[in-house]
Structure 1
Amino acid sequence: MEEVVAVRPGAVRSVVVAGLLVLGVAGAAQAQGSGPEADVAYHGQVTLSHGNLRVWMVPENEGPAALPDATVRLRLSAELADQQELADGCVRAGMREVVCETGPLPMHGQGRHIGLVLDLRERVAEVVVRVDTGWNGGAADRNLSNNEHMVLALDTGDAYTF
């Protein structure tokens, strides 16, 4: 007899996130004196017009150490169309998610400018775009306020900055 287990949406993610938090805390305790410390930040704008979402951003590192690379993650409240032409260094990571590499982030400097035109599956009146760091090479970042953004863009063609 097979056992059927019902899992509420998000439960698996919660378990994985909790496990990563435990590992992250243990890793941070070990690496406090040995790993780089950086302050990754993202600044840019989001525009929604006729089912097309345009995102332009500049990743920055406010220091104190340089990073060879990092990834920025964009999570949307609306589904992406099946076909996407993404910028170099960007990949689709799900129905509502895109991940892009930042390129090298020098100490107190900028990474490569990232510009995306994302087609949505359906035209929506608004979309929420969450921007955060997917991976930062194991660096400690004590200031998450400048690399975690949530932007509400209305289908007006106006630019919303973060």
Structure 2
Amino acid sequence: MRRAGVVAAGAAAVALAGTVPAGAVAPEADVSYHGFAALGEGRLGVWLVPANHGPADVSDATVRLRYSVALAPRQELPDGCLRSARRVVLCGTGELKAGERGEKVAVVVRLAGAPSQATVRIDTVWSGAAADRNPDNDRHQVLALDTGDSYVF
């Protein structure tokens, strides 16, 4: 429940590009994600833990999951997540204190058809207007084969 409504705010913030008033310096925060993905029986799951390496706190962030194959028309997404396009899901992370990990985000989607493999791209689309000078650790691309095996990122 804590993430309910947060994604909508995060998605709106994407449109605003996290603007900071003229002359102000954006706080710096280094958001990262670590976890795994698994594909089996037409379902692709992503389990991740966000972290903030600081130095500033992040009031909320929005992680984007982009899939290489279309999602089935109907999905049951967890609280705090929404489908924003045919192959895209957005999820709020909640507050990320500097130097701490956030709460686990777990998303399992049904894919259209029964692909033998699928790729999920993971990145941050909003981080509370904080500047992230190390975006490489919050951008991942994971290829999962339809074996049920976990692929770590």
Per the normalisation by structure 2, the TM-score is 0.84
Q: Give the 5 Å matches for 1:5-16.
A: none
Other structure's SS at 1:62 match: strand
> How many Å separate the matches in 2 of 1:79 and 1:152?
15
Equivalent position SS for 1:87: coil
1:11 corresponding residue in structure 2:
none
Compute the displacement of 1:34 (Å): 2.3
Unmatched segments (≥5 aa) in structure 1: 1-19
Question: Which residue number corresponds to residue 96 of structure 1?
Answer: 87
Q: Which residue of 2 aligns with 1:61?
A: 52
Q: How many residue pairs get matched?
A: 137
Long gaps (5+) in structure 2: 1-13
Q: Which structure shows the bigger proportion of residues in helix conformation?
A: 1
Query: Runs of 4 or more off by more than 6 Å in structure 1?
Result: none
The 2-side partners of 1:134 and 1:112 are apart by 18
> Within 1, Cα distance between the matches of 2:30 and 2:61?
11
* Cα deviation 1:49-108 (Å, max 9, x = unaligned): 010111100011000000110100000001111111111100001110000000000011
The code of the aligned residue for 1:74 comes to L
Higher strand share: 2
Q: Which is greater in Rg?
A: 1
- In the other structure, the counterpart of 1:40 is 31
Higher relative contact order (CA 8 A, sep 6+): 2
Q: Which amino acid aligns with 2:63?
A: V
Does the alignment pair 1:133 with 2:124? yes
Identity of aligned residues (%): 50
Name the SS of the counterpart of 2:128 in structure 1.
coil
CA RMSD of aligned residues (A): 1.8
